[in-house]
Amino acid sequence: MGLFSRNISVAAEPVKPSIPVGSPVEEQAPVLAPVVSPPRGAPGARASVLLPVTPVVRGEREIYFEKMKVRIHQQLVDRLDVQNLKTLPPDVVRQEVRGLIKELCQTEKGLLNSSDQERLMDDVMDETFGLGPLETLLKDSAITDILVNRFDRVYVERRGRLELSDVRFRDNQHLRQIIDRIVAIVGRRIDEVSPMADARLTDGSRVNAIIPPLALEGPAMSIRRFGAKPLQLEDLIRAGAFPACVMDFLAAAVQARCNVIISGGTGSGKTTLLNCLSRYIPAEERVITIEDAAELQLQQPHVVRLETRPANIEGKGEVNQRDLVKNCLRMRPDRVIIGECRSGETLDMLQAMNTGHDGSMTTVHANSPRDALGRIEVMVAMAGYDLPIRALRQQISSAVSVIVQAQRLTGGKRKVTRVSEITGMEGDQIQVQDIFAFEQTGVDENGMATGHFIVTGIRPKCLERIESRGISLPAELFLRKQIQA
């Protein structure tokens, strides 16, 4: 969808200029949500209670403002010379368009003060050049997640806590237009045939959208944001994600080409940690990344980024992660990085780790290092091969060196809660030992988890590999001790 597509605009009804300030559109009775009670006579049975759900009530002034914005935007689109604008520098285009918006505002009969005019111009500019109401949220660097449940329910996450924002779309059609614009940026589509889509914004933020009939209350969207400036491990240390000794070990492991898996739940910081660790890959090595929606921000000069492709409208042309893993092995990579293993490509990843592509990394969804190994076994089975369980576990134990467990704790803090090493097989079981661990001891007055890190005192087996690469770590790094988080 083009920046000045006429599909962006929605015709508005004429509005009378005299609007009482702050008056509600109409009196709305509270919406009642039933609470399901146990059957009568059951333990804990009680009478059914109807809890009020706060409705969204908008003043007439706000509705008038929205309609004026739509009307001015429609006039703007009608008067723009799109082909000529494409030949001009962006700054010149914005200056010309802003002047035209100001002229259109002055032709409106409704009374607008200077602050309302500025707000109106900003909103129309966002609608014309950006992502409409989302632009306000995208400019806030403190927001890490934007969750659009429906057109009038937009939540954001700041500093690990979710809160309802005052941003809203006009209606479901407006939200759908913004979703269409986002997925079009990366050449994807979303419609009744393919009602789900993964995409990314120009700043690298990850987007997932879903529309009816799968989304029952209208289109929904979630945006996982990444800062314009990639975080470093030092930033995570200052944030209390882990102590310096953990960084020293992980940096040495990456430099020594140990295969690393980052495990964790949704929103635990897996991708951020993977980006940080990539800093320690030597600049002369060739790295190939594979993702469903490209979001990794590797900090190396020699990187080839690959991204999957969904099927076309005829159901053909799909290229999945497994196809890309097989192809990238013919591209002479030194390291292969998969954004997230979630299916049969896990087997190809293990084979790459075992066939000369040491130092490869990926992430998996799991709640502990032991659970991560179980997930890997399940995902390998999804490749369609009936491998004996012992042979499969031998493949895993010889391929993976280190598992880093990330977790989102009570209160929203993200921490590395385990750094574990795979030491081999004993019988049919993979042996795992913790090098570093975080123990939660309680919750403070602000609802934040508190605790301390423990150095277990175990000397890592991979330390020999690290030292053979000329990397030295102090012996006291692994002495058993407790470090306050």
Cα 254 to Cα 252: distance, rounded to the nearest angstrom: 5
Domain boundary among 226, 258, 281: 226
Identify whether residues 221 and 80 lie together within a single domain: no
Residues 181 and 194 reside in one and the same domain: yes
Decide: 303 and 282 in contact? Cβ < 8 Å. Answer: no
Q: Do residues 125 and 100 touch, judged by C-beta distance below 8 A?
A: no
216 or 66, higher pLDDT: 216
What per-residue string of b and e applies to 261-274 under the rule 16 or more CB within 10 Å gives b?
A: bbbbeeebbbbbbb
Tell me, yes or no, whether 255 lies in a domain.
yes
Query: Three-state SS for 174?
Result: helix
In a domain, 364, yes or no: yes
Query: Which pLDDT does position 73 carry in this prediction?
Result: 67
176 domain-assigned: yes
Does residue 392 register a pLDDT over 70?
A: yes
From 198, 178, 203, select the one nearest 188 (Cα to Cα): 198
Domain boundary, last residue among 94, 125, 156: 125
In the chain, the amino acid numbered 256 is A
* Residue 403 vs residue 269, higher pLDDT: 403
Does residue 153 lie within any of the structural domains?
yes
User: Does the residue 52 lie in any domain?
Assistant: no
- What's the total number of domains in the chain? 3
Question: What was the pLDDT predicted at 309?
Answer: 87
Backbone torsions φ then ψ of 224, nearest 5 degrees? -100, 115
> What pLDDT is attached to residue 81?
63
Render pLDDT for 431-476 as a digit per residue (tens, 0 to 9): 999 999 999 999 988 888 999 999 999 999 999 999 999 999 998 9
Report the largest interatomic distance among the alpha carbons of the chain, rounded to a whole angstrom.
83
Distance CA 3, CA 321 (A): 31
Measured CA to CA, the distance from residue 69 to residue 133 in angstroms comes to 12
Angle at 261 (CA atoms; ends 259, 263), nearest 5 degrees: 170
**Which position has the higher pLDDT, 52 or 330?**
330
240 with 218, same domain: the answer is no
CA–CA dist 196, 478 (Å, integer): 47
Q: What is the pLDDT of residues 273-332, one digit of tens each?
A: 998 898 899 999 999 999 987 888 887 889 999 999 888 877 788 899 999 998 998 999
339 CB-near residues (< 8 Å, 6+ apart)? 271, 274, 289, 290, 291, 292, 294, 295, 296, 362, 363
pLDDT reported for residue 21: 39
Element (H, E) at 50: strand 50-53
Q: Are 457 and 314 part of one and the same domain?
A: yes
| 241 occurs within a structural domain | yes
Higher pLDDT, 232 or 150: 150
Enumerate residues 6+ apart whose C-beta is below 8 A from 348.
322, 325, 326, 329, 383
| Residue range(s) defining the domain that contains residue 386 | 233-484
Q: In angstroms, rounded to a whole number, what is the distance separating the alpha carbons of residues 335 and 359?
A: 6
In a domain, 45, yes or no: no
User: Which residues make Cβ contacts (< 8 Å) with residue 376, sequence separation at least 6?
Assistant: 261, 341, 346, 350, 364, 396, 400
Q: How far apart are CA 232 and CA 230, in angstroms?
A: 7
Which range, 57-61, 103-107, 233-237, 466-470, is most confident? 466-470
Question: Does this model's pTM top 0.85?
Answer: no
* Bridge partners (DSSP) listed for residue 482: 454
Which one-letter DSSP state was computed for residue 339?
Answer: S
Distances (CA, A) of 258 to 156, 291, 296, 400, 446: 37, 21, 20, 8, 39
| 437 three-state secondary structure | strand
**CATH number of the domain where residue 135 is located:** 3.30.450.370
Average pLDDT, the chain: 81
30 falls within a domain: no
Tell me: pLDDT of 63 over 90: no
Q: Which DSSP letter does residue 335 get?
A: E
Q: List pLDDT tens digits, range 75-124.
A: 766 666 655 665 667 677 777 777 777 777 776 655 556 666 677 777 77
Q: Using the 3D structure, point to which of 164, 195, 226 is the last residue of a domain.
A: 226
